[in-house]
Structure 1
Amino acid sequence: MSRRPLLHRLDPASVIVFRALQLGDMLCAVPALRALRTALPQAHITLVGLPWAQQFADRFKAYVDEFIAFPGHPLLPEQPVRHEELTGFYTGLCQRRFDLALQLHGSGEVSNDIVSGFGAGAMAGFCRGDAVVRERMVLSTYPETGTEPERLLLLVEQLGAGAATAEAGTQLEFPLSRQDEDELAASGVARGLEPGRYICIHPGARQRDKCWPPRHFAELGDRLASEFDVKVVLTGSAQEADLTAAVAQHMQQTPVDAAAPISIGAMAALMRDARLLLCNDTGVSHIAAGLKLKSVVIFSKADIARWAPLDRHTHRCIWDPGAERASVVLQHARALLSGTAPSRQRTVGMWPYW
């Protein structure tokens, strides 16, 4: 006799979710969190993540009730380990006795051991090799294909939330708050910009070796500004000011350099009213997907089939590790700004890439 899905058997009142990653990776988990909330509307859902993700949990209060900062692990590269906090972290979680611990941090080689230490009544997640299905543990074989949101949704579906995943959908979100709007206004970086009359160029990325050359961004910025009568706004964190300055230096037009010590939310509020985002494969590409902002995303290292936005017509993904395809990037930026169809594409699976 087949065993009922884990969520149906448990009907958990408390769920702890582990995903200790950076912005883009966290935004890709929103559809799975939304489906989990749809399936378990009364459950208390706690997110364990990198310390910065407190702001992620605050933004997505509809899906996350509580946030706990993860002190790190020697085999996870995202942050140094805060050894003095480890005992208290694991002891505190075990004392809470969560009904279900859900591992949304990848294929499980390291993260399954971490999540098993949370002391929950049951555990679910991905694993390498054959699936593990026991009374209090369900580990599904990690899928090697599909986008990141689809892979995470598949896990929630296999746990018994099939109807919820269909209802919740695959779309990304990036809700903006009044605080975001007020911070943007106070910063002054959007002063004089008219909605729909500017494009954003984001030349940075967390890994600098993923960045397209500043002179390429500059050349395309000049061409698009001239052809479509739009202002160019250079976005980035304060740590990326050297990149926006380099782009500005190479431009003939005078852009707005909006690299400033403003929050992710304020930067997203600035992007919301743009006509287009041109960027590297980094977290802002997923913000654009959440805002439904047209974008051209340049890939050089990451798995494009996994990390490209689902809507490949609104978000054009260009594979250009050698920085040799500026004409293709320009072509698709023009197509998005003018509303025309692309003239050339290749396909991987069912989705267009360029």
Structure 2
Amino acid sequence: MTAHYKNIVVHLPNWLGDTMLALPFLHGLRSVFPDARITAAGRLWVSDILHHFPPLDAVASISSTSGLINYLRGEKFDLGFLLPNSFRTALAFKLGRVPERAGYALDMRGILLTHPLKLTDAIMRESMVEYYMRLLEPFADISEIPRIMKLYPDEADRAEARRVFLENGWDGSSKLVGVNPFAFQWDTKRWLPERFAEVADRLAERYGVRCVFSSVEKDRPLMEKIKGMCRRPIIDLVGKVPLKILPAFMEHLSLFITNDSGLMHVAAAADIPIVAVFGSTDWQRTAPWSQKATLIRRQQDHEPCMKPTCSRDFRCMNDISVDEVFNAAEKYL
């Protein structure tokens, strides 16, 4: 049934966290099509993390819709999987002459898909891991496919990550704990920064760990505020960790304390313990795919609101105490 597909392309999701939640799908795709050439195409800010990912034969960074269409035409793919749900993506695959196209029939694009999947209420209650895995249902029994959440940093990545740590205050032996008070765009994903600072101080004082903060450079203003709140020295790697070495960066950590974010899912793929604070987002869909994760959240009558800003009293985050997060973290140390 699948042997005649020789050249397959996957359009990656547009965000880092969603791309991480699609890792089991990418592993499953390789198991369903063991002899095909498989390429992942996506924006640079998601594709670069897959530069060394054995289930794929190639990774292409695409910067525009016209560039995507031209790329698809040149590569002559025979099957495409569309992980983003936009009409534009489906149209690009059609114009790119990919003869078979699988994706969810959303945004009025069902007519452009040869393997359309209906999005049901039951699917919307599942993890995003299962949501992406269902794209393989027209081709295989997905119940028999392992859900593998894993990245594969190479030795060059590991050496580069170690160099970044050593050049920014690590002594090479102290236990490292990642702390991520950042979250892209959504204020309601962010637990209070002063509470992250207090948790970091308590962990340093009780366990002698070095707490590491990392994000993109645009989060520098918040990082400076948090540094001013911390009593104990921290390792500030904001703007210093390229996307491609994030998996190797995570391997150095003994624990990752975080908001709901893309980095949370990178930590899950690195198989390190996670303490994740959830606010406005749907934890059933976007919780880390990990047996080593503790989720901390507050049930509200309007949960999850799925809004980037709060028009109420922000109880979903305000009611989560420093003690609760610290107690969850120390169980892993």
TM-score range, shorter chain: 0.7 to 0.9
- SS of residue in 2 equivalent to 1:310: coil
255 and 261 in structure 1: CA distance in 2 versus 1, 3 angstrom threshold: closer
- Correspondence list, 1:77-226, <5 A: 86=66, 89-106=68-85, 108-128=86-106, 137-142=114-119, 143-156=123-136, 158-162=137-141, 166-167=144-145, 169-187=146-164, 188-189=167-168, 191-194=170-173, 197-207=175-185, 209=187, 210-226=189-205
The answer to whether 1:56 aligns with 2:34 is: no
Per-residue deviation, 1:309: 1.3
Whether 1:256 aligns to 2:238 is no
Q: Deviations over 1:114-144 (max 9, x none)?
A: 332221221211114999799x821111232
Are residues 90 and 257 of structure 1, via their aligned partners in 2, closer, same or farther at CA, if it must alter by over 3 Å? closer
Q: Is 1:238–2:194 an aligned residue pair?
A: no
**How far did residue 251 of structure 1 move?**
1.4
Mapping 1:11-22, distance limit 5 Å: 11-22=4-15
Which amino acid counterpart does residue 30 of structure 1 have in structure 2?
Answer: L
Which amino acid in 2 is paired with 1:331?
E
The 3 A distance-change label for structure 1 pair 104 and 270 is closer
In 2, the alpha carbon distance for the partners of 1:208 and 1:27 equals 19
Deviation at 1:183, TM superposition (A): 1.6
Change (3 A) 1:48 1:270: closer
- Distance, in Å, in 2 between the alignment partners of 1:49 and 1:266 is 18
- Relative to the length of structure 1, the TM-score reads 0.77
The answer to whether structure 1 residue 335 and structure 2 residue 315 are counterparts is no
Letter in 1 for 2:33: L
1:228 lines up with 2:228 in the alignment = no
- Aligned equivalents of 1:303 and 1:332: distance in 2? 19
Bigger relative contact order, structure 1 or 2 (CA pairs below 8 A, ≥6 apart): 2
Check the 8 A contact 1:12/1:99 in 2, yes or no.
Answer: yes
Equivalents in 2 of 1:130, 1:35: separation in Å? 27
Q: Match for 2:16 among 18, 23, 26?
A: 23
| Aligned twin of 2:265 | 286
User: Normalising to structure 2: TM-score of the pair?
Assistant: 0.82
Deviation at 1:49, TM superposition (A): 0.8
Q: Secondary structure at the match of 1:161?
A: coil
Contact persistence 2:81–2:135 (CA under 8 A): no
SS in 1 for 2:179: strand
Query: Is the 1:35–1:161 contact (alpha carbons within 8 Å) kept by the matching residues of 2?
Result: no
- Residue in 1 that maps onto 2:281: 302
Kindly state the Cα deviation for residue 238 of structure 1 after the two structures are TM-superposed: 3.0
Name the SS for the 2:139 alignment partner.
helix
Note if contact 1:20-1:70 (Cα within 8 Å) is conserved in structure 2.
Answer: no
Letter in structure 2 aligned against 1:63: P
Identity among equivalent positions (%) equals 22
Q: Partner of 2:306 in structure 1?
A: none
Closer, same or farther: CA 263–330 of 1 in aligned 2, 3 Å: farther
Q: Structure 2: 5+ residue runs without aligned partners?
A: 299-313
Partner of 1:160: helix, strand, or coil?
coil
| Deviation, structure 1 residue 335 | 3.4
Q: Does 1:65 align with 2:57?
A: yes
The number of equivalent residue pairs is 311
Seen in structure 2, the aligned counterparts of structure 1 residues 233 and 44 have a Cα distance that, compared at 3 Å, is same
1:180/1:122 CA distance change after superposition, 3 Å: same
Gaps of 5+ in 1: 1-7, 74-85, 341-354
Give the C-alpha shift of residue 20 in structure 1.
Answer: 4.2
The 1:276–1:339 alpha-carbon spacing in structure 2 relative to 1, beyond 3 Å, is closer
In structure 2, do the counterparts of structure 1 residues 208 and 241 end up closer, same or farther at CA, with 3 Å as the change threshold?
farther
Partner of 1:3: none
How far the C-alpha of 1:147 sits from its partner, in A, is 0.9
